[in-house]
Amino acid sequence: MQNIVSASSADDARSDAHASGVDSLRSGVLSARQVIFFVIAAAAPLGFSVGAIPLAIGRGGIGTAGILLVCGAILAVFSVGYVAMARHIRKVGGLYLFVTAGLGRPLGLGSAFLAVMAYAVASIGSIGAFAIFTQHTAHSLLHWDTPWELWAFLAVAAMGLVGLLGVDINARVLGIVVTCEIVLLLVFAVAVTLSGGAEGLSATAFSPHAVFGSDLGPMMAIAITAFAGFEATVLFAEEVRDGHRTIRRATYGAISVMMVLYAFVCWAVVQSFGDAGAVEQANSDPTNMFFAAAENFIGLWLAQTLSVVVVTSWFAAVLAFHNAAARYLFALGRDRALPPVLGRVQQRTGSPWVASAGLSAFTLVFVSVFATAGLDPYLDLFVLCTTPAVVALPVLTCLASVAVFAYFLRNRRGLPVWQVWFCPLLAAAALAFVAWLIVDQLSLFTGRSGVVNIFLALFVPAAVLFGCARALWLRQGQPDTYERLAP
């Protein structure tokens, strides 16, 4: 078995890096628990629960709780082949390297550009959510009337600073934040359960009729974002301890925690208002739905605590998406698919500082444009910026599923058929259906119609085609660089 970051593979990676004039990331600094923190932080557990679960309930129904279990199950099936293939991928690069190994360099590079786009816009969009929730918290608790732009620019500065630190420092920061979020969510959900809810406990939210209702698209679109970043376990492949074992534990651990936690919390939110009352409340006052339930069943102190921690939750998401995008850029720079300077690391901290700094600068420009244009931080910066990511994530994972199947179709390497053929194909079919549902009902997610949704959805094929074109150009003009685009 070839571990992802075994001593020999880590040495190989360093040798390759130095030979090409770039560096390698620090090895052996992350445990499975710390990688799980990165993955869960990207989904902003508290931020998602406060900002997205009410939206999903209002637009799709109480079946959102069941849909969260469905999405988790799909990704768990995907992870069977994903973890098996991770044994044979030695470098950082995430699903980019999986698609390259299974479907070839052009489509592999296309998936890399898709991943960079998705995580970059997710990070930028999350700054909008961070800014508006911070603005509201400052007003409600401190009676400060502050512009959202102030908090957005502070978030960009903090993101840039923390992103330049070592990955272990990032993990400690995210670990503290995520632990607080999970504790508060469990306190809320357990309190609602023990009190019996508003009308008595009901399992209707998990019934087939509620889960597979007519508005499945928006529920799927919002639910899939709950697991955003779960594939980041492989992005930290060169930095983990105990190689493949850590990646396996982190992948299954992250999916299991998120699936159970989100479904439980969503069900508790529904119970706090009743099956019918939850939909009505979600449509009339979605932003305060979670806080109102917390205050009713526990007290004002929890509602106020949640309003503070939700701010740190969104910053953790910003930071996690930023780290993921930076590592994709690092991988592309080290492979010379993009300027090699992006493959540089800071020797003292081991962070991909050039890629991180470049993303921070791009984010600053993007946020400045939205601020100057006087656009809304939530409806415009958050919703519109994250829309391409919402479409891209199931597409990217679907491509990786097909790539895993194609990779093992050539050589099963002694692994069982169900693990490397059946599970990847099943996951690919399910993810393709999810992506189609999201695109088909995108207007329910964005609140826009017509050309806006078409434009946002086109970011996905545009990113893939741009990456494919770049690969073909490299094959023609720089064949040596083209050959480097491989695991």
The phi and psi torsions of 30 (rounded to 5 degrees) equal -120, 140
Show the tokens assigned to 116: 């960079």
Give CA–CA dist 233/294, Å, rounded: 33
Give CA–CA dist 175/173, Å, rounded: 5
Query: Does 113 map to a domain?
Result: yes
Query: Using one digit for the tens of pLDDT, what is the confidence trace for 250-259?
Result: 788 888 888 9
Query: Does 10 map to a domain?
Result: no
60-69 residues labelled b (16+ CB within 10 A) or e (exposed): bbbbbbbbbb
Which residues of the chain, if any, have pLDDT below 50? 1-22
pTM, to two decimals: 0.84
Query: Does 13 map to a domain?
Result: no
The phi and psi torsions of 203 (rounded to 5 degrees) equal -100, 15
The single residue listed with the structure tokens 């992250």 is 254
CATH number, domain containing residue 263: 1.20.1740.10
- Domains identified in the chain, total number: 1
Query: Does 8 map to a domain?
Result: no
Range of the domain at 279: 20-484
Closest CA to 67 of 59, 78, 56: 56
Query: Does 462 map to a domain?
Result: yes
- Which pLDDT value is given to residue 4? 29
Give CA–CA dist 227/223, Å, rounded: 8
The single residue listed with the structure tokens 């998406």 is 321
Show the tokens assigned to 81: 């082949």
The phi and psi torsions of 240 (rounded to 5 degrees) equal -90, 160
Give CA–CA dist 329/105, Å, rounded: 16
- Which pLDDT value is given to residue 20? 40
Show the tokens assigned to 476: 């023609």
Contact in structure between 223 and 67 (CB atoms under 8 Å) = yes
Query: Does 2 map to a domain?
Result: no
Query: Does 5 map to a domain?
Result: no
- Which pLDDT value is given to residue 17? 42
- Which pLDDT value is given to residue 266? 95
Query: Using one digit for the tens of pLDDT, what is the confidence trace for 42-86?
Result: 667 888 888 789 888 988 889 999 999 999 999 999 989 988 887
Query: Does 30 map to a domain?
Result: yes
Contact in structure between 367 and 160 (CB atoms under 8 Å) = no
